[in-house]
Structure 1
Amino acid sequence: MSREGTLIKNTAIITVGKICTQLITFFLLPLYTSLLSTQEYGIIDLLNTLVSLLVPIVTLQIEQGIFRDLIEVRGNKEKETKIISTGLIVVSVQMLGYLLLYVCMSGFIHNDYKVYLVLNILVYSFASVFLQVARGFGNNRVYATASFLSALSTILSNVVFLLVFHMRAEGMLLGTIMGQSVCILYLFFSLNLYKYIRIQKFDKNSSKRLLKYSIPLIPNSISWWIFNASDRVIVSAILGVAQNGILSAASKFSTVYITFYNIFNISWMEAVSLHIHDKDINEFFNRTFNVALRFFVAMGMGIIACMPFAYPLLLHEKFRDGYVLVPILIVASLFNVVVGLISVIYVAKKNTKAIANTSFVSAILNITIHLILIRYVGLYAAAISTLASFFIMSIYRLYDINKHYFKIQMDPKFLIFTVFVASFILVCYYVSNWKLQVIALVAAICYAVIVNKNIFRFIVRLFKQKMKR
């Protein structure tokens, strides 16, 4: 199968596993936002934010090194066993150190939810490692199924704990722990990981190689946390957790948007890493980059155009103040997509230091802008600082890739057309005239069809070839 065909196949497999649970989560938003106060919703979001910060630090991002090394030894069980055994032993030692640190410090932490924070970090860490092993094996079906089971278990647990046991915030946090535990158990047995875990296979040189690759990703992970999560901490500290609840609810739409990109990115990163040494990698990269960019720009416009009709249906009235933030967060996420599309080059070249350096500078910029603006524009500061930081990072990484690797080409006509249509949709969004908003929705649909006609043609051609075979 061609590289493009494999990319589409892998993306489709992972999408099936992810999209179902995302839709269920979306339809449950009215339940969550009606049963929980803005303060409780803000607390849950804040703890999840801390988990996303601490997991990469606790694991030293070694799961990323495991994935990257497994790609290069696929089919060689001896080498796979050495990598997995070494990686899991390193992670297990890190987990023991983390738990010991918690025991020593727990007496100084006065918070009703500290146990949930500890357990969430523990299960997220092992789930992350096992998921990357599945990716390293190239077993995207198992990866997608694990993600689906994890999300479904979390959702079902949340519903039971909220409606039956009335556990509110604690129920939501416990549901997340149960979902990740299901993920771990499924991956352990479906991948037969017990066959790849041998203490005697621990290799000191392999552990050094894994850590050399993964440790530079820690500053990058912290930087991404600053991008995606520090806003929540700042808002909670200055404006209160209730306002953070509103920001969190408004961010759900951009989160879903980024989730779709992350699904694609799993296959995209694998494809570029596998073919980075091909003679025509420049052509393959540019062709796929431009197709993906058109698709995700169209998706972002479509989400913004749908919000005037979807937001009041999905979120309780007490979260209505977040409506004005959604377009800014979606546009910020679009630049996040641009950053992700081009950054796979760094991963394929194993240049993790370049990732860390640019992310760190942009993250500091994010915090600075947020702290300057929050006293004047409130919640707008979180969205504006995120947009500015992602925009600057995307411009710099485009420049850096063009300078050190190869030329990334984009169609100027497409960019001009995009700016024009996006401006029209945004104006209609904030005018709050339902007739104009309907026109904006039609414009977004027409735009999507026009700029993605090559995707439709390729899928039809691929389908015909499949039917012939």
Structure 2
Amino acid sequence: MAERVRELIKNTGIFAIGSLSTKVLSLLMVPLYTTVLSTADYGTVDVIGTFTGLLAPVITLSVYDAVFRWALDDQADASRSFSNALVIWLTSTLLFSAVCLFLHTLNTPHIGYFWVMVVTGSLGAICSNLVRGIGYVKLFTIAGIVSSVSFMSLNLVFLLQLHLGLTGYLLASAISALVSLVIVTTGAKISRYWDAGLVHPKHMRQLLLYTMPLIPNALSWWGVASANRLVLLSFAGVAANGLYAVANKLPSLINLIYGAFLQSWQMSAVKTFDDQDSGAYYTRTFDVVMRLQLVAVMALMALTQPVLANWVAPDYFTSWQAVPGLLLTVVYTNMSAMVGATYLAAKRTKGLFLTTMYGAVISIGLSLVTVPHLGIIGASLASCLGFAAVLGIRLHETRQFVTINVAWGVVIKYHVVILLQLAIMCMIPVCAIQTICLLLLTVGIVSTDWPFYQGLIATLTNKR
């Protein structure tokens, strides 16, 4: 198990470099966006980004997941899956292009930028997953960093110097996506994995049998994560959606490391799935990641109001009300994705779709009830409960092929402390006393669990 842990940590570290760079640069740009863009413009940006992410699995038919899974097996499988995936992507892209041309004739705003973002994003997903699957982890990371720097630099030019506003933001996003695609394809010499002789309906069918459940899964996942934003638009307007987008920035800090970990974990989960002690390995990893994320939630709760008071324009300060729910949403999302990797390893992707669909129904249903009365708070609450449902269902269903034993007593204890922090945030105005009280609760919970953290530190430093 020690060797697997070291490989997991090594890959996580490499992915983390790219993830940290990307997220930090994104967060540094938020003051610029909230100053230059109105809440309505920022809400529009968020909506376009949401639909771009929604259409990527539809345009690619989620074949990038199959490319990654088969690339982990051997190079022959990598070439076969990549070649057939490109043909599938090209066919669906032509259909999508025809739809965009029709929308262009109707004078749909920003449709050209939207087309570029979707097409480059979907092709980039296929190429990036091939690169990650064949072991080009560093190249994958470099492409992400360069793309982020390009995006930031272009925004500085387009927003501050050329004053292009929303159009400038979208143009910067489209160009940076192209930059990432060029780096990945040239750096890994992806053309050598293209083999027209391997393209065959039988191979395409094999990929699609694996990925077809992943398409409705991605749509349902979008339903859990993003449909509440459409409900916000309907009941509270574009400005509320802008507040909600800002509220999501602090919770995204948790993903600075977790996003890197998940990419590494997906590789590790596949490689260790057939090992006799895979259940113990999955359980230990789940326990560590869950505790660390909940501690991160507590620390960010202490910083939420002070940071927003000094970080964004005054009109955006009320967005803090949605942050606690969104922090827990991120944790449940991440843990659901972690458990979901076992479905991919077992090649039982149907379970991913069904569990996510249940969560989508719960999240959308709750949004329709809570948003009209609670606004962004209701949206965050609905999203939180939707992802919690997905996690619970997946933990139960994956027992069919791997058992993950959750330390429920510890999980409940951590959640009680988070609720106490929320009560303090509501009762004590933003000040040093509030921050100190919240941080003391965080330190206290870590102290009660110190033997666990001490053992974790010893493991990571190879002292045990």
Interval containing the TM-score (normalised by the shorter chain): over 0.9
CA RMSD, 1 decimal: 1.8
* CA distance in 1 between partners of 2:57 and 2:105 (Å): 24
1:430 aligns with 2:431: no
The residue number in structure 2 matching 1:467 is: none
SS at match of 2:250: helix
What are the within-5 Å matches in structure 2 for residues 384-423 of structure 1? 384-402=381-399, 404-423=400-419
What residue in structure 1 maps to residue 207 of structure 2? 210
2:335 maps to which of 308, 314, 338: 338
AA of the residue aligned to 2:387: F
Distance 2:190 2:173 in 1: 23
Q: Name the counterpart of 1:289.
A: 286
User: Is the 2:25–2:148 contact (alpha carbons within 8 Å) kept by the matching residues of 1?
Assistant: no
Equivalent residue letter for 2:80: K
Equivalent in 71, 89, 94 of residue 91 of structure 1: 89
Partner of 2:58: 57
Gaps of 5+ in 2: none
Give how far 1:106 is off: 2.9
Aligned residues: 458
The DSSP-based 3-state class of the residue aligned with 1:293 is: helix
Equivalent residue, structure 2, for 1:459: 460
Q: C-alpha separation between the residues in 2 aligned to 1:397 and 1:215?
A: 19
Residues in 2 aligned to 1:425 and 1:243: alpha-carbon distance in whole angstroms? 25
Taking structure 1 as the reference length, what is the TM-score of the superposition?
Answer: 0.93
Q: How far apart, in 2, do the equivalents of 1:200 and 1:348 lie? A: 28
Equivalent position amino acid for 1:241 in 2: V
Opposite residue 436 of structure 1, the aligned amino acid is Q
Listed one character per residue, the Cα deviations across residues 267-286 of structure 1 (whole Å, up to 9, x for unaligned) are 11110111111111111111
Counterpart for residue 40 of structure 2: 39
Q: Which residue of 2 aligns with 1:236?
A: 233
> Equivalent residue for 2:437?
439
The structure-2 alpha-carbon separation of the partners of 1:217 and 1:156, relative to structure 1 and needing over 3 Å to count, comes to same
Residues 16 and 259, structure 2, Cα contact 8 Å, conserved in 1: no
Give 1:412 deviation, angstroms: 4.4
- In the alignment, the residues of structure 1 paired with residue 197 and residue 23 of structure 2 have an alpha-carbon distance, to the nearest angstrom, of 41
Q: CA deviation at 1:453?
A: 2.8
- Which stretch has the larger CA shift, 36-45 or 137-146? 137-146
Q: Among 110, 115, 134, which residue is 1:113 paired with?
A: 110
Residues 59 and 94, structure 1, Cα contact 8 Å, conserved in 2:
yes
1:87/1:207 contact within 8 Å kept: yes
Equivalent residue in structure 1 for 2:296, among 281, 295, 299: 299
How far apart in 2 are the matches of 1:375 and 1:308? 24
Shift of 1:3: 0.5
Is the Cα contact below 8 Å between 2:68 and 2:132 reproduced in 1?
yes
Q: Distance in 1 between matches of 2:147 and 2:445?
A: 35
- Code of the residue aligned with 1:292 in structure 2: it is V
Separation in structure 2 between the aligned mates of residue 189 and residue 446 of structure 1, nearest angstrom: 51
Report the counterpart of residue 311 of structure 2 in structure 1: 314
* Partner Cα separation in structure 1 for residue 195 and residue 252 of structure 2: 39
Q: How do 1:253-268 and structure 2 match up within 5 A?
A: 253-268=250-265
Secondary structure of the corresponding residue to residue 2 of structure 1 = helix
- The answer to which of 419-428 and 4-13 deviates more is 419-428
Is there any run of 5+ residues in structure 1 with no aligned partner, and where?
465-469
Q: Partners in 2 of 1:93 and 1:405 — Cα distance?
A: 36
Deviates more, 1:4-13 or 1:192-201: 192-201
Could you tell me whether the CA contact under 8 Å between 2:41 and 2:166 is conserved in 1? yes
Give 3-state SS (helix, strand or coil) of 1:229's partner: helix
Whichever residue aligns with residue 9 of structure 2, its letter is I
CA separation of 1:104/1:95 partners in 2, compared to 1, >3 Å: closer, same or farther?
same
Residue identity matched to 1:14: F
Sequence identity percentage: 22
> How far apart are 1:199 and its partner, in Å?
2.4
Say whether 1:351 aligns with 2:352.
no
Alignment of 1:361-400 (within 5 A): 361-400=358-397
